[in-house]
Structure 1
């Protein structure tokens, strides 16, 4: 293999290893955020069960209200919900990632 061919192959391999889209990268960041901050009570995946009886699974949130309505709550700090829910305030980048992830797991 020629030097330029090896470099091209390395670049292609690196690109293939990256998430396919910006949205996919956001979804991955959002998944990590909800797993860290929400999964103690909420089902955050596509088929798990909430451990807290008052914590709705994230995959069903769009049945309750538009997902975009969560943006303001996340920015101001979610302090309502179920009684045991800790307050969580997210940055704008975190909000975008969380919303992207929640959209990705909605029941269709």
Structure 2
């Protein structure tokens, strides 16, 4: 009985949680990535492109990592990092960049 209840809750929660935040604009995320991130990262879907900074991962590689989820991207984009500029993005910008990166995995 308890297992059936937990299974039902898990199915409900997975159906209720969207893959990407509602209203996230991947087009705006792509534009922001090109304007802000492309000086270090390869931000496009081209699998042959190399990042200008060899230490900066390509966004397509980030998208294909098993650990990359909407939540992991949002946490990363809200945190400062030693080897990156300290960008402060709005919640909408974070949603857009996360949606854009996640969309690269589908190409």
TM range, smaller chain: 0.5 to 0.7
Which residue is equivalent to 1:99? Answer: 98
The structure with the greater share of residues assigned to helix is 1
Q: Following the alignment from structure 2 to structure 1, what is the Cα–Cα distance between the partners of residues 32 and 25?
A: 10
TM-score by length of 1: 0.65
Count how many residue pairs are aligned between Structure 1 and Structure 2: 82
Alignment of 1:23-102 (within 5 A): 26-47=25-46, 48-61=49-62, 62-63=64-65, 65-68=67-70, 69-75=72-78, 77-80=79-82, 83=83, 85-102=84-101
Q: Which runs of 5+ in 1 are unaligned?
A: 1-21
Q: Whose radius of gyration is greater, 1 or 2?
A: 1
Unpaired runs of 5+ residues, structure 2, are 1-21
